[in-house]
């Protein structure tokens, strides 16, 4: 689910989610030391938790949700490297299924609803947020933009815009994003981020359509969001 990266009651202290993320890792490590992490089953538990925590970034002591979303941009670039639009879509569906399973396992292992350290849900949502841009480029050119397209020319502006929109919807949780959190286990953890990504994709698509029809960018610089940047 969304991790709103808020500050604690005192400016110099970690936010609640960040403290929970660090605590989650410590609790699970202590559990392993007490004999619950032995053998192949224990190794799979640790691996599952590590994946659900976004290769460990969820244990960072500040802004775990933002770091998870940043890693999601890297995941999007990895899917673009596949060079196939259908592979891109398959990666989205498979990673969503993996998030439901792994985040649900992590929640059960840590014994806590929506653990703050679990950020796989943010990671898998970012390719959905970029989907309108990717689909438009594929439809127009017959090929996916390369992974480096997010790092050159106008790609960084598109990436920043999508990133900020996703974090905004993930934190504000308009209907039905917040309501989806009531779903059980990994379904609730994953669904709200997927819905926030759909909101982001919809806004990105509106912007894309607008700037295909108009040339307002010469006045405000927003022409850099045109699909040709991919």
What pLDDT was estimated at residue 22? 45
Q: How many residues does the chain have?
A: 230
Residues 28-71 pLDDT 10s = 544 544 444 467 777 888 999 999 999 989 888 888 889 999 99
Distance of CA 184 to CAs 19, 53, 94, Å? 24, 19, 19
pLDDT at 136 over 70: yes
Task: Calculate what percentage of the chain has a pLDDT beyond 70.
Answer: 74
On the question of pLDDT at 17 being above 70, the answer is: no
- Residue 13 zone, left/alpha/beta (φ > 0; ψ -120 to 50; rest): beta
pLDDT at 8 over 50: no
* Better-scored residue on pLDDT, 97 or 45: 97
More confident residue, 154 or 166: 166
- Cα distance between residue 214 and residue 158, in whole Å: 18
d(CA 179, CA 61): 28
Tell me the three state secondary structure of residue 59.
Answer: helix
Per-residue model confidence (pLDDT) at position 41: 72
Residue 213 token pair = 């029809």
> Is the predicted pLDDT of residue 196 greater than 60, yes or no?
yes
Domain boundaries, the chain: 16-229
The token pair at 119 is: 């950020």
CA distance 151 to 88: 19
């Amino acid at each position: 689910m969304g991790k709103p990266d808020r500050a604690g009651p005192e400016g110099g202290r970690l936010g609640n989610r960040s403290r929970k993320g660090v605590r989650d890792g410590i609790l699970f490590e202590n559990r392993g030391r007490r004999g619950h992490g032995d053998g192949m089953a224990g190794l799979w538990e640790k691996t599952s938790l590590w994946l659900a925590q976004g290769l460990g970034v969820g244990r960072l002591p500040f802004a775990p949700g933002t770091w998870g979303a940043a890693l999601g941009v890297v995941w999007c670039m990895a899917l673009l490297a596949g060079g196939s639009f259908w592979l891109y879509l398959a990666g989205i569906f498979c990673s969503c299924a993996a998030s439901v399973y792994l985040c649900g396992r992590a929640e059960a292992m840590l014994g806590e609803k929506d653990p703050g350290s679990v950020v796989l849900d943010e990671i898998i949502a970012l390719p959905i947020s970029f989907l309108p841009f990717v689909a438009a480029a594929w439809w127009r050119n017959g090929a996916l933009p390369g992974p480096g397209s997010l790092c050159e020319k106008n790609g960084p502006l598109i990436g920043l815009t999508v990133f900020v929109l996703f974090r905004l919807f993930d934190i504000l949780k308009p209907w039905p994003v917040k309501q989806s959190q009531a779903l059980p286990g990994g379904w609730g953890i994953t669904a709200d981020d997927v819905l926030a990504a759909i909101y982001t994709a919809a806004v990105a698509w509106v912007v894309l359509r607008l700037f295909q029809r108009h040339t307002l960018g010469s006045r405000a610089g927003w022409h850099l969001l045109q699909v040709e940047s991919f």
